[in-house]
Structure 1
Amino acid sequence: MIAASSFSSQLRLTPIESADEESLQSIGSDPAVFKFIPEIPTPFDAGTWIRSVLDNGENYIRHAIRLASTNEVIGYVQISRRLDMHIQLGYWLGSKFWGKRFGRQAASMALGPVFKVKKGKWT
């Protein structure tokens, strides 16, 4: 796992920890958040989910997405290896943060240690 934190003017990515449970439970209680993510069971149980994420050695990046201005947890991003050996990037955000380009920004930040991103293009 990559344990480093990542920062931008709007967001911070920090390694997920059990202390994030209450915030993630609040976000995950909205059924719209996981509507298109069938791998995450609903109703969402943040404690069980966090333990499974932390116990999975194939999750290389598993970070809370936070607003830089307030440190509020607004979602989650991960890079993991699937059973078919493909690498997968996934993220989810609280619905009130949709449409603000936070998902794209968090994905770019998570991929930063893997790829260099220059002016929005992968190199």
Structure 2
Amino acid sequence: MKLRKFRLQDAERVTALLQDKDIAKWTSNIPFPYSKQDAIKWIKSTSQDTDQNPFAIEVDDQVVGCVSHWVNSKSEIEVGYWLGKDYWAKGYATQTLAQMLSQPDFPATDSVVAQVMTENLGSQRVLLNNGFSCLGKYDVQGRSLDLYKKYNNII
């Protein structure tokens, strides 16, 4: 399993992975249906916008999902991830989030945050397994979200 930057030739695979309503249900910014043009536009935007830091998750040389970090509206480092449904509950999200957080070029910060839908127990386990703690619940546009935070020991 490895992380790498997305390439335009990944558009078809990303499109295929995102043809599932459950992925759109559990994410805040992935539409359904998801077209190849959506994938191309997104991949191009990530190569031009240095605030976005998505990494393709590869297993056996095949893209299976994405893990990313960005600076949110509160100037915090936020993380997120998604996997194609065939790759759920296999430990990939937990492992790749840990891998991204430990990369030498990951921003040095005293904490990292993540938001997850309250009903998304799998995603909550990924965060807990990576040392995040739930700080509480809140509603955004009719969706119940949990806020998670991981405190880092930076001296």
Higher relative contact order (CA 8 A, sep 6+): 1
Shift of 1:56: 2.0
What SS is found at the alignment partner of 1:42? coil
Residue 12 of structure 2 is matched in structure 1 by 22
Residue 54 of structure 1 is matched in structure 2 by 47
Shift of 1:52: 2.4
**Deviant stretches of 4+, over 4 Å:** 120-123
Partner amino acid, structure 2, of 1:106: T
Residue 82 of structure 1 is matched in structure 2 by 72
Q: Out of 17, 23, 26, which is 1:33 matched to?
A: 23
Partner amino acid, structure 2, of 1:43: P
Query: Is the 8 Å Cα contact of residues 58 and 82 (structure 1) preserved in structure 2?
Result: no
For 1:28 and 1:47, the matched residues in 2 are separated by 13
Partner amino acid, structure 2, of 1:101: G
Percent identity, aligned pairs only, is: 26
Query: Is the 8 Å Cα contact of residues 93 and 103 (structure 1) preserved in structure 2?
Result: yes
Deviation by residue 1:73-98 (Cα, 9 ceiling, x = unmatched): 10011111112211111110000100
Gaps of 5+ in 2: 109-129, 132-151
Cα root mean square deviation, aligned: 1.9
For 1:56 and 1:35, the matched residues in 2 are separated by 25
Gaps of 5+ in 1: 1-10
Query: Is the 8 Å Cα contact of residues 13 and 63 (structure 1) preserved in structure 2?
Result: yes
Residue 63 of structure 1 is matched in structure 2 by 55
Provide TM-score, normalisation by structure 1: 0.76
| Residue-pair matches, total | 106
Shift of 1:34: 1.9
Deviation by residue 1:47-74 (Cα, 9 ceiling, x = unmatched): 1221222222212x3210010xx20110
For 2:48 and 2:19, the matched residues in 1 are separated by 23
Between Structure 1 and Structure 2, which shows a larger proportion of strand residues? Answer: 2
Shift of 1:16: 1.0
Provide TM-score, normalisation by structure 2: 0.62
Between Structure 1 and Structure 2, which shows a larger proportion of helix residues? Answer: 2
